[in-house]
Structure 1
Amino acid sequence: MSVSSRHEDGYASVAASSDLAVTVDQAQYDDNAGPCLEALEANYPAAVPDIAATNSWPSFRDTAARLGLRTSLSIPLFTGSGTTIAALNLYSRQTRALSTLTGAVWAAYDPDFAEFWDRDALDPGGRELTAGLIAAVALRTMMQQAMSVLASTDETSTSRAYQALCTRATDGATSLTAAAAQVIEEHRA
């Protein structure tokens, strides 16, 4: 497991459970390509169910396979504004070890995928991760909707709309979530 983030003009592993994860991450940084960078840049999970069979990222594939890894899953991590700032990278030496979790993660990002995963098949840690991710993605969607309303109403950028939303929350002594809900509710009225 590792966490990748943008760093200066490139990328860095800001946390890792082992040197193995750092080595696989570094192969992706050196090649400027791989699932962790895809998740970080595309704002969507990047799953590699069979590392040996992937042709998309040769440096990642070769390094990971040499180290005995068989599958990986990279999940984007984002701020309150919805900006992806890091990717959580999970690696396994067991071929199907991440398949159930991958389905659950995809369901968090795509409601149409929700019917294809089995919550009961996840271990307790997988359930907790998935529940948190589902809540975070829903919150991000609400925040982006509120920022879009503010940006169109005030004819401003989404970054300024986020600042306005933060100001609204501070001035109203409320949470950012409550301020976003209020903006959406006012817009619907």
Structure 2
Amino acid sequence: MAKPPYSPPGSRREVRGALADGLVGLAETPNDASLIDDLLQRIVQLTADLVAPVSYASVTRTRDGAPTTVAMSSEIALAVDLAQYADQTGPCLDALDVGVPVAVPDIAATMAWPRFREAALGLGLRASLSIPLFAGAGVPVAALNLYGHDPDMMAPLTDRVWTVYDPERTRTGASDPPSSDPGTEELVSGLIEAFGVRAVIQQALGMIMHQRHSTAEEAYLILRVEAAETGRSLIETATSTRQHDDRPIPGS
């Protein structure tokens, strides 16, 4: 699939397509759902196809206590991931651990991750961005790793993603960088909507915690069970909980 051409700076347009749908769908999906890996594969391939600065993409998850690549657009992305796993450190692992994007604007200049640097440079990559993704429980379940050949093209993408994850940055003027390309705008749009979904679910969990004097984990289980018993999605159940915060919680 050919990537769409860049839009001129300032030609911002609202985009909602398959990539944004995938990110929102992931945020609405229970963490233990079997379809999460399918969603991640869809997100990876669409990102590599649509986001112009991105040459290759992959997704890192933790399985049985160890990081693993569960989706990739190319074996090249996998090779860079594996170098990080072998070193037990790297931008994809940091993003998954700390829950914020980790950017490497100039791979040649980074000293923090030697195996990552060597593998990426050897494959012609010059910049990367790892983005934590979350499912219904609201905690990171994966890192979306974006690898590019051109640091100048990756920079606007990194800035746009950071405005989603760091509201303080948005308010202080580093804020709202110019549009880069339609694929970047769709990725950012999806992340923004995913955060909106997470906010609704987290508010519902807070109400359940207050009513039931439960932990966050217990509240999530209550919400998850209610969704299953009523045949509604997690976000539908959370929305209903917010709208009726004084109703009895099932099982109370």
TM-score range, shorter chain: 0.7 to 0.9
1:80-159 alignment runs, 5 A limit: 80-114=136-170, 116-118=175-177, 121-159=179-217
Cα distance in 1, alignment partners of residues 62 and 75 from structure 2: 19
1:140 and 1:31 mapped to 2: Cα distance? 32
Would the alpha carbon gap of residues 180 and 29 (structure 1) be closer, same or farther in structure 2, given more than 3 Å must change?
same
Q: In 2, distance between residues paired with 1:180 and 1:169?
A: 9
SS of residue matched to 1:69: coil
In the other structure, the counterpart of 2:118 is: 62
Distance 1:73 1:125 in 2: 15
Taking every aligned residue pair, what percent have the same amino acid on both sides?
42
Letter in 2 for 1:117: D
Give the partner amino acid of 1:97: M
Q: CA deviation at 1:174?
A: 4.3
C-alpha contact 1:44 1:75 (8 A) present in aligned 2:
yes
SS in 1 for 2:145: strand
2:73 counterpart of 1:17: yes
- Counterparts of 1:20 and 1:65 in 2: how far apart (Å)? 11
Bigger relative contact order, structure 1 or 2 (CA pairs below 8 A, ≥6 apart): 2
Task: Return closer, same or farther for 1:171/1:7 CA change in 2, 3 Å cut-off.
Answer: closer
Within the alignment, does 1:43 sit opposite 2:102 as a pair? no
Aligned counterparts, 1:19-34, within 5 A: 19-34=75-90
Q: Deviations over 1:156-183 (max 9, x none)?
A: 2212211212334455554422332343
Say if 1:52 and 1:70, in contact at 8 Å, map to a contact too. yes
Match in the other structure for 2:238? 180
Structure 1 pair 55–141 and aligned structure 2 pair: CA distance change class (3 A): farther
Q: Tell me by how many angstroms 1:95 deviates.
A: 1.5
- The separation in 1 between residues aligned to 2:68 and 2:229, in whole angstroms, is 37
Q: Give the superposition deviation at 1:27.
A: 0.7
SS of residue paired to 1:33:
coil
Could you tell me which runs of 5 or more consecutive residues in structure 2 were left unpaired when the two chains were aligned: 1-56, 247-252
| 1:5-34: CA deviation from partner (whole Å, max 9, x where unpaired) | 112231111121222111110011111111
2:231, 2:74 → 1: CA distance? 42
Task: Please state how far the C-alpha of 1:77 moved relative to its aligned partner.
Answer: 1.6
**Post-superposition CA distance 1:27-50 (Å, at most 9, x none):** 111111111111111111111111
In structure 2, how many angstroms separate the alpha carbons of the residues matched to 1:154 and 1:31? 44
Distance 1:90 1:156 in 2: 38
d(CA) in 2 for partners of 1:97, 1:27: 24
CA distance in 2, matches of 1:55, 1:146: 43
Q: Number of aligned residue pairs: give it.
A: 188
The answer to whether the Cα contact below 8 Å between 1:76 and 1:87 also exists between their aligned partners in 2 is: yes
Relative to its length, the structure with more helix (as a share) is 1
Equivalence for 1:73: 129
- Unmatched 5+ stretches in structure 1: none
- State the TM-score, normalized to the length of structure 1: 0.87
Secondary structure of the residue that 1:98 maps to in structure 2? helix
- Give the direction of change, closer, same or farther, for the CA distance of 1:157–1:131 in structure 2 (3 Å limit): same
**Structure 2 length as normaliser, TM-score?**
0.67
The residue type paired with residue 156 of structure 1 is S
Deviates more, 1:92-101 or 1:107-116: 107-116
